[in-house]
């Protein structure tokens, strides 16, 4: 399981500083949507230059113009780029095609998708699927952990996100996600390095328990 550090609503320099303080305990670094919107592809370039050995996720949330936007992300150094699951099939296909040509990955954001749409999307076995509670749902509607109420195809690669804390992360244990996306619980912590270390400890414990279960 990988920890993806979500960096949003910061300057590029602040984002790099936060990532540097936590890099020993994180695996993927997300250049957040707001960071990309404010600073453009230079934010992706600078994060990749600062962390060449980390997986850089460009959370561009493409919903149209897929060839252009995904090519732009990958040329700027992203290893993974995101597309909205509610996009037309032509857009999803274009994202998959562009990523495969570049030797990169696609993360499909399942926000606001229904069961029928998800079943169709899960045919893309090469993609990672991100189930999460949106920022507005958290801050305005007060929703938490609705991800755990949904059933996902166990054969797909899953990422979970949305206000995850050390108190709430246990609710995702049964899902066994491939990627756990964590933002403010690390980025706004007084000791960011310690917070990242604590999350990593939880995931390592899960991995250990899973191996033990497989041995039995």
Instruction: Name, in order, each residue with C-beta under 8 angstroms of 213's C-beta and a sequence gap of 6 or more.
Output: none
Mean pLDDT of 10-32: 98
Tens digit of each residue's pLDDT (9 = 90 or more) over 138-193: 656 555 554 544 556 788 999 998 889 999 898 888 888 999 999 999 999 999 99
The pLDDT value recorded for residue 29 is 98
pLDDT at position 1 over 50: yes
Q: Is the pLDDT of residue 213 over 80?
A: no
25-79: per-residue pLDDT in tens? 999 999 999 999 999 999 999 999 999 999 999 999 999 999 999 999 999 999 9
**Residue 98, CA atoms < 13 Å, CB-side half-sphere:** 26
Q: Is 75 left (phi over 0), alpha (psi -120 to 50) or beta?
A: alpha
DSSP state of 29: E
Mean predicted confidence (pLDDT) in 88-113: 97
Q: What is the pLDDT of residues 103-118, one digit of tens each?
A: 999 999 999 899 899 9
| 3-state class (DSSP) for residue 72 | helix
Mean pLDDT computed over 122-130: 95
Query: In CATH, what number does 2-215 get?
Result: 3.20.20.70
With bands split at pLDDT 50, 70 and 90, how would you rate the model's confidence at 201? very high
Return the number of other C-beta atoms located less than 10 Å from residue 172's C-beta. Answer: 20
Tell me which range, 78-92, 132-146, 150-164, 200-214, is most confidently predicted by mean pLDDT: 78-92
Domain boundaries, the chain: 2-215
* pLDDT recorded at residue 117: 92
């Amino acid at each position: 399981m990988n920890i993806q550090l979500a960096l949003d609503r910061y300057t590029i320099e602040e984002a790099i500083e936060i990532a540097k303080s936590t890099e020993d305990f994180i695996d993927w670094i997300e250049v957040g949507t707001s960071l990309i919107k404010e600073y453009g592809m230079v934010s992706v370039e600078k994060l990749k230059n600062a962390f060449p050995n980390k997986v850089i996720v460009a959370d561009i949330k493409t919903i149209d113009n897929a060839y252009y936007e995904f090519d732009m992300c990958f040329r700027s150094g992203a290893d993974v780029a995101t597309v909205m699951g509610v996009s037309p099939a032509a857009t999803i296909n274009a994202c998959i095609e562009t990523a495969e040509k570049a030797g990169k990955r696609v993360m499909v954001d399942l926000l606001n998708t229904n069961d029928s749409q998800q079943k169709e999307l899960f045919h893309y076995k090469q993609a990672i699927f991100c189930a999460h509670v949106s920022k507005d749902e958290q801050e305005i509607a007060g929703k938490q952990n609705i991800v755990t109420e949904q059933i996902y195809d166990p054969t797909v690669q899953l990422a979970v996100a949305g206000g995850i804390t050390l108190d709430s992360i246990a609710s995702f244990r049964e899902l066994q996600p491939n990627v756990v996306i964590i933002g403010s619980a690390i980025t706004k912590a007084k000791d960011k390095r310690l917070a990242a270390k604590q999350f990593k400890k939880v995931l390592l414990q899960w991995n250990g328990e899973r191996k033990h279960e497989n041995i039995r």
